[in-house]
Amino acid sequence: MRERPGPTRPVRVLELSGSDSRERRDDLATEEPLEIRLTAPGGARKTVAITMRTPGHDFELAAGFLHGEGLVEPGGIAAIGYCVDDDLPPEARYNTVTVRLHGPIPDLPALDRHFLTSSACGVCGSASLDALRDRCHPLPRGGVELTPDVLYGLPESLRGAQGVFGKTGGLHAAGLFTAEGELVAVREDVGRHNALDKLVGWSALNEGLPLDRHVLMVSGRASYEIMQKALSAGVGVVCAVSAPSSLAVDVARDFGMTLVGFLRGERCNVYAGQERIIR
């Protein structure tokens, strides 16, 4: 049986520097597919997603994905494990996760098309803003409030907690912080949406939802998928190192979220929800 893949993989590279060259070892961030299957009492089963991810925290990834897409609430999950179905070759065991439900598999149109996701773009053809309004409500006013000094410290705290990025330089991260800037948890992945799914899944499996008293910090940009998943988890403040997309700003403004972009050093732009920033 194939060994369980880790978050990094060593390779030999030729390093060029000016007129010099040398061979050396390098560590790459692992990228492999993960299939997420649902099973229900009575034996029904269905594949709902295939995503390219960095191995590690796979059960959290599955739980967070299902919650973020509105497919399964945390209380509906009976157990999560690596798949041992007869139709699965042994070498794929650690790339397939089975989520056993307490009740039937949801009868949703989304399940008929499956979710095919990549580590770069998030869920292809994901729900539109109108569909998001059908299943999510605007967040209540208030909740988390934070100062600019707390904001300015988030990127460095997140970067300091990225152990695998320190080895590979090739991973995104999502970090959960208190309003005082204390790091609660961080997850890494080649896909920024996967990193957030892992973080939300960790919270869901530990009965930590909603995350209305926390601040989310993500590496890279703030996309629609990031805002959708944060909203589903009840996060009121989302911060990103890079720019937000136009749809990300629309989600923030429509649902009463605070969105901070270009958070670098002691500078940032607040695109929505300025009332949560104490000046």
**Catalytic pick from 83, 121, 124, 136?**
121
Strands 258-264 vs 237-240: parallel, antiparallel or unpaired = parallel
Q: What phi, psi does 212 have (nearest 5°)?
A: -75, -10
Tell me if 207 is assigned to a ligand binding site.
no
Tell me if 176 is assigned to a ligand binding site.
no
Tell me if 129 is assigned to a ligand binding site.
no
Tell me if 266 is assigned to a ligand binding site.
yes
Tell me if 262 is assigned to a ligand binding site.
yes
Tell me if 25 is assigned to a ligand binding site.
no
CB atoms within 10 A of CB 43: 6
Q: Is 121 a catalytic residue?
A: yes
210: preceding bond cis by omega (within 30 degrees): yes
Q: Give, in order, the Cα–Cα distances in Å from 213 to each of 12, 65, 137.
A: 45, 21, 17
Binding residues: 262-267
Which residues carry out catalysis?
121
